[in-house]
Amino acid sequence: MVPKNENENIRLGSPLHRRSFLGGSIAAAVAATSLGGATTADAATSTGLKAGAGRAAIDIPSSLLPLDGFTTVHDDLYVRILLLENGSRRVALAVLDLTSISAEAIAAMRTTIAKASGVAAADIVVTVTHTFSAPHVQAVGSSTAAAQYVQQITQATSTAITAAVAGLQPARVGFGTGECDVNVNRDVLTADGWWLGTGERGSSDKSVGVTRFDDLDGNPIAILMNYSVQSSVMMESVMANGDLPITADLAGAAVQHLEKQYDGDVVGFFLVGSCGDQSPAFRSKRYTIDKDKKWSQVDAQDAGWLLLTVQGERLGTEAVRVSETIKTSGGDSGSTVRLLTDSVTVATMTSGHPTGPTKTYDFTPTGTTDVPIWILQVGNGAFVGVEPELSTDTALAIKKHSPFPHTAVMSMLEGGSKNMAEAQSYARITYEAMDSSYAQGAAETVAAKIGTMLHSLRG
């Protein structure tokens, strides 16, 4: 089945985030596997595709709370792992319900996954769903609680990869695209400059990219949804009793809805897309703009859970609908598994800590850095991933110029990095531009490099 072009579903048009990006180990992985250029891990052989998936909740006992300000657990955070094999090579994709994750924790995860599955460290891709209602992963030496938290993440990783290995079996893959309107551009013009809010007329990609892996009898093994939104429905929303709850938020609610539709026999994955300028359409602690373009925040508190349930249900329902239309296939095109890694040099600047709108800002470049890029090809689909949060227009450009009929664009690989805004954001002086450590033009340079890499894979 050839899915319709994802661009058909596009409509154009706390002041401080909680995240504390601790970096990732992607640079080390790239350095170890690409000496002087792009590296391809090619698992395309005549033996055919195999897939296995596993999930496990990250146990956060009451003895660990409060943790990073969170006082209670509303719903579990999960580690989900997809294991792919074709021939003698395996690739693993690990997705965690976290805001970000430290290089230290990623290293522990890689060791656990490699030991249980035989996947080479450089062939393990780690990303997060970017929920803002999860404790940050701190250095294990910073406190006993931080060390215990990392231990719990590692234990969940072990359980998930063990299940994925046990379930590894011959598989088929297929792709589809739907549409869901639970995201919105968050850039709005206020009296004091551009700030956060509900930018109904701004660029927003409503497409839901769905990838389905079946066994040879047509039963689903894993279903992946790629959607552009930050999981921040309950971000910083304090309950009436004073609790600040942990929740997997929108990504978790959508995946849980999907998994329940298949009686828990399927492992669902949320791959966060170009989330830099996209927030949920409805948030519990929301920004409002009055007639004089003055901004403020209002917290719905406990009532916010209904907003989360409804939006998660809508996104999950669309992913299920699309999944049911997908015809999976194997054969030569369906069994190709390749992981291509490379990097590109971009200009940097001093990252700001925006607390409100402004009409002046210094975006002077201060240096350069290498931005790592990962592309996972599975049959006729390509999954493009980078560390920073990309903006909508950047992801749309990547999809538009991709030679693959299905292209998923992913932010937040390897624990994540701060925003990589597109050119217009610097002109407007948006939150994304001020929050970034990348200078103007970086996003466009990365998009061009990704285009070159995609065409090299397609041949």
Could you read off the pLDDT of 191-234 as tens digits, one per residue?
999 999 999 999 999 999 999 999 999 999 999 999 999 999 99
pLDDT at 407: 99
Average pLDDT of span 240-253:
99
Largest CA-CA distance found in the chain, in angstroms, rounded:
65
Confidence bin at 40 (pLDDT 50/70/90): low
pLDDT at 420: 98
Indicate the domain borders of the chain. 6-458
Is the per-residue pLDDT at 7 higher than 70? no
pLDDT at 26: 36
pLDDT at 47: 61
Q: C-alpha angle with apex 199: 197 to 202, nearest 5 degrees?
A: 145
pLDDT at 22: 35
pLDDT at 37: 55
Confidence bin at 60 (pLDDT 50/70/90): very high
First to last CA, the chain: 21
- Phi/psi for 82 (5° steps) reads -105, 125
Is the per-residue pLDDT at 117 higher than 80? yes
Average pLDDT over all residues of the chain: 91
Per the model's pLDDT, the better-predicted residue between 1 and 323 turns out to be: 323
- Reported as half-sphere exposure (CB side, CA atoms, 13 A), residue 298 has a value of 8
- Reported as half-sphere exposure (CB side, CA atoms, 13 A), residue 416 has a value of 33
Helix locations, 182-303, DSSP H: 249-261
Q: With pLDDT > 70 as the criterion, what percentage of the chain qualifies? A: 89
320 vs 297: CA distance, rounded Å = 34
Average pLDDT of span 74-83:
99
CB distance 110 to 124 below 8 Å = yes
Measured in whole angstroms, the distance separating CA 436 from the mean position of its chain's CA atoms is: 18
145 vs 173: CA distance, rounded Å = 41
pLDDT at 334: 59
Average pLDDT of span 13-40:
39
pLDDT at 8: 35
Average pLDDT of span 396-424:
97
pLDDT at 36: 39
CA distances from 300 to 88, 234, 235, 283 (A): 53, 9, 11, 8
pLDDT at 459: 76
